[in-house]
Amino acid sequence: MLRVKGLSVRYGTMQVLRRVSFHVGADEIVAVIGANGAGKSTLLRTLSGLHRPSEGEIRFMNTPIHRTAPERIVRLGLIQVPEARQLFPNMTVLENLELGGFIYGGKHVEISLPQIYEIFPVLSDRRRQKAGTLSGGEQQMLSIGRALMAKPRLLVLDEPSMGLAPLIVEEIYQTIQNLHRMGTTVLLVEQNAMGALAISDRAYVLETGRVVLSGKASDLMEHDDVQRAYLGRDYQHKWER
């Protein structure tokens, strides 16, 4: 469904991504994990069309999107749940959700809202509350709900566990798994490696702008190199014990 090939992105003279390639197939949960500064946020910004790559291509549903305007990409069905939620704090939960389905018109919003409330009952309870007053976990759910309103073919989550307590993170991950079971394809970008690997099918590990490891998530959980990608090489000579 999503194919990224040889993507290089730079900010001015700074090279942030160096020939990154990965793909997400239909009905998969794929994780991209890496430490800070690995280039994850830049990757997502480029995916949504907010930034143009200097090399490489991105194909979504076989359409090249690396030179497309962001709103077109959203219409194609690539919806992002941004880092740190980025809700409209002074609007109610309902208004935030409505905005999510904005591009498809009022009819669609009417039909979709009950579905969202089913997935996230807590949002239904708080529908008239201002988004800024919700707890961190609830905000994250609202953010995901808002994204779901836009009929995503591919749901991209940018560090959903950021700033949330471990128990809430568990809940969020459960929700993501449920969504996946209901047929949504998910691309999960995380710093929290283990958590992301636990719910993904496959994963890619990013280190300073490069893919250094990829494979089945279950394999990667045991892999030494995941830790090395975060904490550096733990040996100096190959013969060390």
Residues making contact with other proteins (CB under 8 A): 3, 5-6, 8, 11-16, 18-23, 35-38, 55-56, 159, 162-163, 166, 191-196, 198, 204, 208, 210-215, 219, 221, 223-224, 226-227, 230-235, 237-241
Instruction: Report which of 100, 98, 105 is spatially closest to residue 80, judged by C-alpha positions.
Output: 100
Nearer residue to other proteins within complex by CB, 115 or 178: 178
Q: Partners of 23 in the beta sheet? A: 3
Nearer residue to other proteins within complex by CB, 74 or 196: 196
Contact in structure between 187 and 154 (CB atoms under 8 Å):
yes
Strand order in the sheet with 154-158: 78-81, 154-158, 185-190, 29-34, 202-207, 210-216
Q: How far is the CB of 49 from other proteins (least distance, A)?
A: 21
Q: How far is the CB of 44 from other proteins (least distance, A)?
A: 14
Q: How far is the CB of 34 from other proteins (least distance, A)?
A: 10
Helices and strands counted in the chain (H then E): 10, 10
Q: Partners of 210 in the beta sheet? A: 207
Nearer residue to other proteins within complex by CB, 39 or 101: 39
Strand pairing report for 14-24 and 29-34? unpaired
Q: How far is the CB of 83 from other proteins (least distance, A)?
A: 9
Distance of alpha carbon 112 from alpha carbon 150, whole angstroms: 9
